[in-house]
Amino acid sequence: MADTELPQIYLISPPEIELSRFPDQLARVLDSTEIACVRLALATRDEDRLSRAADVVREVTHARDVAIVISEHLLLAERLGLDGVHLTDGARSVRKTRKDMGDDAIVGAFCGASRHDGMTACELGCDYVSFGPVGATPLGDGTLAEPDLFEWWSQVIEVPVVAEGALDTDIIARLSPMTDFFGIGEEIWRCDDPVAKLTELRAAMS
């Protein structure tokens, strides 16, 4: 990524959403600043709840020409007219997903902190690789995606990279010159005013 270009925002949904409130909240966020893509990342594995959530979120995003991908659920992505899928198992499913969904779909791969998995995912045809968490969090095993991973990636690999997980303004300022996207989700949704929080995080990119 060129130093003059600021990273873009890749918005991640909360793990649980209220269908009565979230679409309006999402619309306000999308209208407040430019968002490259939205990931529906719900914790539920209930097909009906996922489908209803995807329908309302897709309406909000597509009305604003913003792409929407869903975590893991390849078949739902195709059936519900979503733009692609975000895989959470590193490079393992990339080849099959690309074959099943075709060249036009967005296929992203979360690769933790593994440079090897990221490179393999690229070779198998993913559109972006996501690394994280980048900040300290009690979730997971404590392994962080360190700045030197992003620095190396930005110098060597053409495929766009996403930094996500426990972001704050300091981390964003540090990683801005070496990442293409910031995956921002819980950082704003747990605040009373997601738009104000996103504006604060975005300001740290410049």
Question: Has residue 90 been placed in a domain?
Answer: yes
| Residue 8 region by backbone torsions, left for phi larger than 0, else alpha for psi between -120 and 50, else beta | beta
Question: Has residue 192 been placed in a domain?
Answer: yes
- pTM of this structure: 0.96
Contacts of 22 (CB under 8 A, 6+ apart): 13, 14, 53, 56, 57
Question: Has residue 3 been placed in a domain?
Answer: no
177 is in which domain, residue-wise?
A: 8-203
Q: DSSP class of residue 178?
A: G
pLDDT tens by residue, 106-157: 999 999 999 999 999 999 999 999 999 999 999 889 999 999 999 999 999 9
Question: Has residue 65 been placed in a domain?
Answer: yes
Q: Which pair of tokens denotes residue 68?
A: 């929407």
The pLDDT, as a whole number, for residue 139 is 84
Q: DSSP class of residue 172?
A: H
Question: Has residue 1 been placed in a domain?
Answer: no
Q: How many domains does the chain have?
A: 1
Question: Has residue 33 been placed in a domain?
Answer: yes
What CATH number does residue 188 fall under?
A: 3.20.20.70
Question: Has residue 59 been placed in a domain?
Answer: yes
Specify the residue for token string 């393992």. Answer: 92
| pLDDT higher than threshold 80 for residue 45 | yes
Mean pLDDT of 16-20: 96
Q: DSSP class of residue 86?
A: E
Cis peptide before 133, with omega less than 30 degrees from 0? yes
| pLDDT higher than threshold 90 for residue 3 | no
Helix (H, G, I), strand (E, B) or coil at 21: coil
Question: Has residue 2 been placed in a domain?
Answer: no
The pLDDT, as a whole number, for residue 4 is 57
pLDDT tens by residue, 56-65: 999 999 999 9
